[in-house]
Structure 1
Amino acid sequence: MEQLTDLKAILHSKRANIYYLEKCRVMQKDGRVLYLTEEKNQNLFWNIPIANTTCLLLGTGTSITQAAMRMLAQAGVLVGFCGGGGTPLLMASEIEWLTPQSEYRPTEYMQGWMGFWFDDAKRLIAAKHIQQSRIAFLKRVWSKDRDLINEGFHFEDELIQTAFSAMSNRVEQAANVGKLLQLEAEFTKRLYKLAATNTKLPDFVRSRESTDLANDFLNHGNYLAYGLAATTLWVLGIPHGFAVMHGKTRRGALVFDIADLIKDSVVLPWAFICAKENATEQEFRQQCLQAFTDHKVLDFMFDVVKQIALKTDWDDANQGVAQP
């Protein structure tokens, strides 16, 4: 049995697991957190290694006991209720994250974030920092991931080079967050076009309500990224409502900002590749999680958020952009 004092021994940025569960009951048994599945002739118990888990997504047909929730809190695991397949029941609705009520998280990052957040100009600099870090990460991943390169997702591709150069230059010239959001949408649209061409899905149209595999996988993968972003912000003690780009009236909007760091570089290409191969939802999820581990995306998220929170020279928008 794991000792309670050891449950937080593995740093969140180094943890390996995200779990999505459906049609089961999560409970505590003999000092472990298990989930119970009901079969025709027997019930089966499966262990959840909570000390090595960042977040737990509970989908349709799930329940959880108070004792299990207590142990998950002790291990610092975020728990979220979501719709089927890891996506919410309502379009664009955020997952309701249940976070352990620990008062021993760091305060320096929250204080640093608050130090600039109320200044519009500084908030714009932070938004630009996120976008430039996002582009730098895509360059790294698409330059070295052999599997993606073999599927046509290569940073040396002419379309990528054109989109990359245009995005990078125009981000620094953006006069407001609205312009940044426009640039972000245009950049992602170009990536969709490239991905659809590479995977021979010419009729693809992005729709969060669509039932085709590519859109389903994009929705699913994006919510895995939201789980990582929520974990990063919770561990650093930064409230999710202090967004720098997405709707500042949405309580969880900062989760969307941070998730954007890795969605285009990891989730997007694998959603299209898995759709081309007619993969199952579980196969896609496993591929995404493996890519998150291979490219150390959680470490990258932590680095970017820390850099912004502890930034001291706010006169130079280019200073300290994360180099993955």
Structure 2
Amino acid sequence: MKDLSPSDLKTILHSKRANLYYLEYCRVMQKDGRVLYLTEANNSQKNPENQYFNIPIANTTVVLLGNGTSITQAAVRMLAQAGVLLGFAGGGGTPLYMGNEIEWLTPQSEYRPTEYIQGWMSFWFDDEKRLQAAKQFQAARIAYLTRVWGKDRDLSVEGFTTDNDLIKGALERFNTRTEQATKSSDLLLTEAQLTKVLYKFSANNTGTSDFTRQHQSADKANDFLNHGNYLAYGLAACTLWVLGIPHGFAVMHGKTRRGALVFDIADLIKDAIVLPWAFICAKENSTEQEFRQQVLQKFTDHKALDFMFEQVKKVALQGQEE
């Protein structure tokens, strides 16, 4: 079999890539010019080839390695050449390193674009312009939620719709307070108030009793929220790497947190997709894998990665034509 080099692979734009992998208890390696993962779950089988599973790196954005995983240097090299971000995670896809900081291994390349980071820097040191950029993201976040909840039939069947009076009122208050905000802390407070309403609505909608958002909680709804949020963080980190914008230049979350811009960008899609499906899958007693597959499918259906790229480019270039 002829070995393939990354240069032989057809290039797929990151915004159009379909795959995000979370792997547990396996070894990731390079074999015959491909990146594979080897699981020992089927050790008793006579044909050892059945233990190998291919990772289509040209169509992959992020690989998260969870408990019991290892990876070879050759595999890392191929992932980097294909532009795949690599993350080491705790159980269930939730990175635990450095507290709740995000540790992404981004492919090294001297050919990342410069126009977006230069555009970002042109406004970032101005407090007022940075606040306006944060408001743009918040407005886009609500527009995306309204669009997704308005067109997703599966969510509609489960009762997640913006026609609800509670949601309508919360979104109106959010928009008003966002416009009136004079500093980023005002935006964070407004965001927290909206999220609290969405949690309450989702819990009531799915019959989840006594729900309290706790990042260290062991109940399924909290576990799925953590898991889904980190999938969104992976897409956000991929977006920023492709556009060449470092994670430390946040517009809303703390400027002292080096992963803060990842949180800003992930917030564009979390409320619309991750939040409702965390509660729905918890109600249905889904497994982590079933939840992950559901969320990733919805990311694809609603073009979440495309939306992230579109919004970050728009803010970086301040709405100018490229």
Q: Does 1:280 align with 2:287?
A: yes
Q: Does 1:41 align with 2:48?
A: no
**Cα deviations across residues 91-112 of structure 1 (Å, max 9, x unaligned)?**
8522321111111111000000
Offset at 1:61? Answer: 0.9
Give me the TM-score of the superposition, normalised by structure 1: 0.94
Question: How far apart, CA to CA, are the structure 2 residues paired with 1:312 and 1:45?
Answer: 47
Q: Does 1:163 align with 2:165?
A: no
Of the three residues 199, 203, 207, the one matched with 1:200 is 207
Q: Does 1:231 align with 2:234?
A: no
Question: How far apart, CA to CA, are the structure 1 residues paired with 2:144 and 2:102?
Answer: 26
Of the three residues 114, 130, 137, the one matched with 1:123 is 130
Question: How far apart, CA to CA, are the structure 2 residues paired with 1:6 and 1:174?
Answer: 51
Question: How far apart, CA to CA, are the structure 2 residues paired with 1:145 and 1:38?
Answer: 39
In structure 2, the residue matched to 1:152 is 159
**Cα deviations across residues 248-285 of structure 1 (Å, max 9, x unaligned)?**
11111100000000000000000000000000000000
**Cα deviations across residues 204-233 of structure 1 (Å, max 9, x unaligned)?**
110001000000000000000000000000
Give me the TM-score of the superposition, normalised by structure 2: 0.95
In structure 2, the residue matched to 1:316 is none
Cα distance change on mapping 1:6 and 1:304 into 2, 3 Å: farther
Q: Does 1:5 align with 2:12?
A: no
User: Residue 41 of structure 1 aligns to which amino acid in structure 2?
Assistant: S
Question: How far apart, CA to CA, are the structure 2 residues paired with 1:287 and 1:85?
Answer: 15
Offset at 1:164? Answer: 0.8
Cα distance change on mapping 1:8 and 1:69 into 2, 3 Å: farther
Cα distance change on mapping 1:215 and 1:312 into 2, 3 Å: closer
Structure 2 gap segments, 5+ residues each: none
Q: Does 1:98 align with 2:105?
A: yes
In structure 1, the residue matched to 2:20 is 18
In structure 2, the residue matched to 1:244 is 251
Let me know the Cα RMSD of the aligned residues. 1.5
Any conservation in 2 of the 1:56–1:77 contact (CA below 8 Å)? Answer: yes
Any conservation in 1 of the 2:4–2:32 contact (CA below 8 Å)? Answer: no
Cα distance change on mapping 1:113 and 1:37 into 2, 3 Å: same
Structure 1 gap segments, 5+ residues each: 314-319
Q: Which runs of 4+ in 1 moved over 3 A?
A: none
Any conservation in 2 of the 1:91–1:209 contact (CA below 8 Å)? Answer: no
